[in-house]
Amino acid sequence: MTIQEQSLPVFASDGEVLRDRVASFAANQLFGGRPDLLHGPNPYRRTLVPEALAEVDFDRPLGAREFASSRALTVHRILGTYYESETVLLPEQGLAGLRPDFEAFYGEELRRIRESSLSDLERFAFGFLDGEVEVSGDCTPEVLDTYLRHLVDEAARGDSPALDAIATAADRPAAADTYLVQLALDGLTEASAMSRNLGGAYGPEQSALFKVFIDEFGYGVHESKHTTIFTKMLGSRGMASHVHAYWNFYLPGPIAINNHYYLLSRDHAKFFRYAGAVAYAEAVFAPAFVKMIKVFRDVFGDDVDLHYCDEHAHIDEHHGRITREEILLALAERHGNHVVPELMRGIAEARMLGGWFEDDTAAQITWSDTIPRHRELAADATLDGPPERAERTRGAAFHTRNHDHAVVLEIEDGEAELVTSATGTPTPLAKGDAVLVPAGRVYGVRALSDASSHLLHPVRTSA
Amino acid sequence: MSRIVVMDLREHNTVLAGHDRYFVLVGPDGDSHLVRDWCPHRGGPLSLSRLTPDGRRLTCPWHGTKVGVAAVRRTGLPMVRSGDEAIVLLPDTPDDVPVTLVHKRILANLPPEDPDRPGSDGPDGSAGPAGPAGTVEDCAELPALPCEEQR
């Protein structure tokens, strides 16, 4: 007998109902976007691209192979906003002038929509995990420990595709910044998901998790809080450090992994999966940050404050030990073998989504770094079917998107710029210019002339 | 100490570990278990068994012994499947024991036998003309003894 979550239908409501509720949420004036590439210091406003929702088929949940799909980006942005609506976000400069946004963000109207659709949206975004990750056989604490140690050794020995992409990029600072942007999603609100597991009563393992938590929160000293030292790292790069300045540049893979921790923390039936996931994450963080320090130091020299990475490279040695010995294995010993499959499933899920972070980030860095090459590829591409047309006007709200299949973006009229990273130089494009946009890559187009239009040609790919 | 084996399920469905053999048994919902390829009656190859019409038991090809699927699953080795990758933990398998991954045809994963086909079991799961057989649900948990003797 093992603990298994109750088998539920994919949705309590059908896809159309879910779409309507999510669309109502995204249509709020908070989420319409601003002309700037970065979001201002207002944690309540983030672009949810309501028009992108029209393309989302809510009758068909996300699959494991489409973590970088257009649907995944759209839905995980919304799901992440739902989750952050259950945390306390206040602007550093004070609430003056933002009180209406505060009241709208946390207000009853949006809260009721969230409450009526969060579980279904979670099932839509993460339901595939039930089929994708499976634990079977006679699982004991010894098996659990062997499995975790194997994966931790694998991670320590393995490469980081994203860090490798930085090291080989032509514009290494922009590439490294893209990586930092992905860290910012969690770094600017660090351990918020973890905090949801601090309540209740579950014995010494609860106290062990609290030890990890107080490190994350700097022992009550704001200057030592991990989020604080993360903002200093961003500041040393001249980057913005408010929540969520880089919203438009978060990739679907990194958003998904952040949402996954909220998923496991919100529903305490998934607590053992959470314990597995956090044990894996904490165990692989320390060696990952050691690699990160080397790459960032190579790129930036002494011009970057890496205290945040140094802190993680050190403290996560302890967190890896604490979460393994005092939480993971302790839970298995206390509660019996029947919880071990859930603990192992959490480890497996964290490993899989960690791979998404790496692959998505590496692909974005590589594409953004090779735009001239992708202009050549656009000329050689075989177009397949009628194009989609989009218009931009100067000063209109800026947003980013991606596509499930490769497209050639061609400027039909006017002048525009292609934005593929938060800190890199946008690529100016004139009428007739074209760029190949690979499947999954996130970009935005901003008009440089009073108005511009562009065509998105589907590309025929070899079977 | 367990030994780790990583399988690509697109290429492999069987693990040979020394003298022991395990195969991936896939359930009707797609759930998979790495189970010992060994009938508890006389050691027949359960990978070549067929599901009874009710889908609840496997009929060993050697002596027609019926073995409960749930019981077979309980013999499964610890396995974590993520997509097409499976990480298997082989218990008490020293490093000098050869481990090989192969792909075999697994009849046990085929749909249940057609009860109307000559030679198949009847719809009630009783033994067909294939021969006398023990009908054992749980003997796989007690592999040291022949099934009939346990019953």
Rounded CA Rg of chain B: 16
* Interface check A147 vs B, CB under 8 A: yes
Number of domains in chain B: 1
Which has the closest alpha carbon to A358: A291, A403, A306? A291
- Backbone φ and ψ of A452, nearest 5°: -145, 160
Q: Is residue A1 part of a domain?
A: no
Residue linked to tokens 């996130």? A442
DSSP classification of residue A323: I
Angle between the N-to-C axes of helices A271-300 and A161-168, in degrees from 0 to 180, rounded to the nearest 10 = 10
The residue with greater pLDDT, A260 or B124, is A260
Paired with B102 in beta bridges are B14
Return the CATH number at B101. Answer: 2.102.10.10
ipTM: 0.87
pLDDT in tens, B38-66: 999 999 999 999 999 999 999 999 999 99
Residues A309, A426: one domain?
A: no
Domain boundary pick from A321, A350, A369: A369
A162 and A298 fall within a common domain: yes
Asked whether the predicted pLDDT for residue A6 surpasses 70, the reply is no
The CATH number given to whatever domain includes residue A319 is 1.20.910.10
C-alpha neighbours within 13 Å on the C-beta side of residue B1 = 6
Q: Are A183 and A258 in contact (CB under 8 A)?
A: no
Q: Quick one: A220 and A331 in the same domain?
A: yes
Per the structure, the count of domains in chain A is 3
Stretch 41-70 of chain A: residues touching chain B, C-beta under 8 Å? 64
Judgement on whether residues A23 and A151 belong to the same structural domain of the protein: no
Q: Please report which helix (H) or strand (E) contains residue A193, including its range.
A: helix A192-195
Shared domain for A309 and A416, answered yes or no, is no
Q: Which of A42-56, A76-90, A413-427 has the lowest mean pLDDT?
A: A42-56
CATH of the domain at A452: 2.60.120.10
CB neighbours of residue A269 within 10 Å: 11
pLDDT tens string A159-210: 999 999 999 999 999 999 999 999 999 999 999 999 999 999 999 999 999 9
Q: Please check whether residue A137 lies inside any domain of the structure.
A: yes
List the domain range (segments joined by +) for residue B87. 3-150
Which residues in chain A are contacts of B82 at CB distance < 8 A? 132-133, 348, 351-352
Give the pLDDT of residue B126: 33
What range defines the domain where residue A404 resides?
372-458
Q: A33: which residues sit within 8 A by CB, 6+ positions away? A: A47, A49, A397, A398, A399
In this structure, are A124 and A138 located in the same domain? no
3-class state of residue A151 by DSSP: helix
The domain boundary, picked from A129, A151, A179, lies at A129
Report chain A residues whose CB lies below 8 A from the CB of B74: 138
For the segment A210-248, what is each residue's pLDDT rounded down to a tens digit? Answer: 999 999 999 999 999 999 999 999 999 999 999 999 999
User: Do A30 and A108 share a domain, yes or no?
Assistant: yes
Is B31 in contact with A348 (Cβ distance < 8 A)? no
pLDDT digits (tens, 9 = 90+) for A236-245: 999 999 999 9
| Best to test chain A binding among B3, B89, B92 (most A CBs inside 10 Å) | B89
